[in-house]
Amino acid sequence: MPAAETPVACLGIDVGKSSHSACALDAEGGIAFRAELANRPDDIDRLLERAGSGALVVVDQKRNIGALVLARAHAHGNPCAYLPGYAEKQARGMFPGIAKTDAIDAEVIARTALGAPRALRPAPEEPEGAASLRILSSQREFASSARTRAKNRLR
């Protein structure tokens, strides 16, 4: 069966600032395809179409640089999850002697999602104003701590 026709069970994505590395696994754990893509909506959409709507999309960072991937995956109807950094680091230890690269990290993320699904954390779709609220809360916290530092300097 050609790689484009192989059903994808899990799509592990190692997100980066300007580009991402992806590894798609079938239900038996075989590699369906690998891809390098730019951090652009069109490229992410093509990757998700290739994987199919039933593929579990797992990322290593759910905020900031991973937010676009998760938003596009939710829009395509894919289930989404997040693999915390400490779990990924422990899982990478199961592949001894392999150098750390983005492609290897993407495969580790996908294999961990298939083999140890309890290590995953849910990545639900955020309500529309959640990001704005998070930014406002962060700014308020910064202003409050700056005020406290200024008072302590005056003392």
Domain ranges for the chain: 3-124, 126-155
- What distance in Å separates the CA atoms of residue 155 and residue 80, rounded to the nearest whole number? 50
How does strand 56-59 pair with strand 10-14? parallel
CATH homologous superfamily of 3-124 equals Ribonuclease H-like superfamily/Ribonuclease H (3.30.420.10)
* pTM for the predicted model, two decimal places: 0.75
Nearest to 81 by CA among 104, 110, 52, 53: 110
Any residues with CB less than 8 A from the CB of 120 and at least 6 apart, and which? 58, 81, 82, 83, 112, 113
Q: Which residues pair with 55 in a beta bridge?
A: none
Do 26 and 71 touch, CB atoms closer than 8 A?
A: no
What is the model's pLDDT at position 7?
64
- How distant is the alpha carbon of residue 82 from its chain centre? 6
pLDDT tens for each residue of the chain, 155 residues long:
344 455 688 999 999 888 999 999 998 889 999 999 998 999 999 999 999 888 999 999 888 888 889 988 988 989 999 998 888 888 888 776 667 788 888 999 999 988 888 888 888 777 677 667 766 777 888 889 999 999 999 88
Other CB atoms within a 10 A radius of the CB of residue 117 amount to: 12
What is the model's pLDDT at position 24?
93
Q: Which two tokens stand for residue 151?
A: 């008072």
